[in-house]
Amino acid sequence: MFMRSFLEQPWPWYVAGPLVGLTVPALLLLGNKSFGISSSLRHVCAACIPAKIPFFQYDWKKEIWNLFFVAGILMGGFITYYFMHPGPVVVNPALVNELSGYGIHDYHSLVPTELFNWSALFTLRGALMMIGGGFLVGFGTRYAGGCTSGHTIMGLSTLQWPSLVATICFMVGGFVTANLILPYILKL
């Protein structure tokens, strides 16, 4: 009974955070792999569209574990969503209030369906958020040499100050955008 309700409820931070942290030793012990996710995007480029660019000239097959890892993340998403039935996301009422001003009312999916759907892709707002936002994620993480996993979790776990610089910049970029820029995009 407890197990069942635990599996169906959203997990609190003090359960989820340590489990995320355990990914670091799990990957190290299983195969000497440094936790990092954005590199998978580079491996896809190296495998599919290297176009003689030096940055993509390396033996990506040696890094294939990373593609198995992200394929697992995708499958984990599928399993959880279809078999563990997450409920609607409960967020701060102030956010609910703000977002309702932009016509966002549906919290049943982890991804706001009113913003991210196939027909929204053909609107200015949807295209900016999905195509533009995605591009910045891929360009920025590679320019920074890592993302939240490679820098914030793996880099800080190994006490590397360049990762602290990167993490602070991720947060500054996010704070400025969410509070000062995103409202204009959501109004479109």
Partner 1 sequence: MLYRNVKFLIVGILFGIVFIKSEVISWFRIQEMFRLQSFHMYGIIGSAIFVGMISVFIIKKFKIKTISGEDIHFHTKIFNKGQVYGGLIFGVGWAITGACPGPLFAQIGTGATVIIVPLLSAILGTWVYGKFRESLTH
**Nearest 5°: CA angle at 188, between 98 and 184?**
55
Site map 130..159 versus partner 1, x via CB under 8 A = xxxxxxxxxxxxxxxxxxxx-xxxxxxxxx
Name every residue whose Cβ is closer than 8 Å to that of residue 7 and which is 6 or more positions away in sequence.
Answer: 84
Site size toward partner 1 (CB under 8 A) is: 131
* Binds partner 1 (CB under 8 A): choice among 14, 59, 122, 184: 14
Give me the count of residues in the chain. 188
Site for partner 1, residues 42 to 101, rule: CB under 8 A: 42, 44-45, 49, 51, 53-56, 64-66, 68-82, 84, 86, 89, 91-92, 94-95, 99
Residue 157 burial (CB count, 10 A): 14
Q: How far is the CB of 121 from partner 1 (least distance, A)?
A: 6
User: Measured from the CB atom, is 1 or 85 closer to partner 1?
Assistant: 85
**Residue of 58, 101, 103, 165 interacting with partner 1 (CB under 8 A):** 165
Alpha helices in the chain (DSSP H): 2-8, 13-31, 39-48, 64-83, 93-100, 124-127, 133-144, 156-157, 161-176, 182-187
Using CB under 8 A, pick the residue from 28, 103, 108, 124 that binds partner 1: 28
Question: Which parts of 110-129 interact with partner 1 (CB under 8 A)?
Answer: 110-113, 115-118, 120-121, 128-129
The residue (of 1 and 12) whose beta carbon lies closer to partner 1 is 12
**Is residue 10 a contact partner of residue 110, using CB atoms and an 8 Å limit?**
no
Nearer of residues 75 and 124 to partner 1, judged by Cβ: 75
Nearest distance, CB of residue 142 and partner 1, angstroms: 4
Cβ burial 117-147 (10 Å sphere, 16+ → b, else e) = eeebeeeeebeebbeeeeeeebeebbebebb
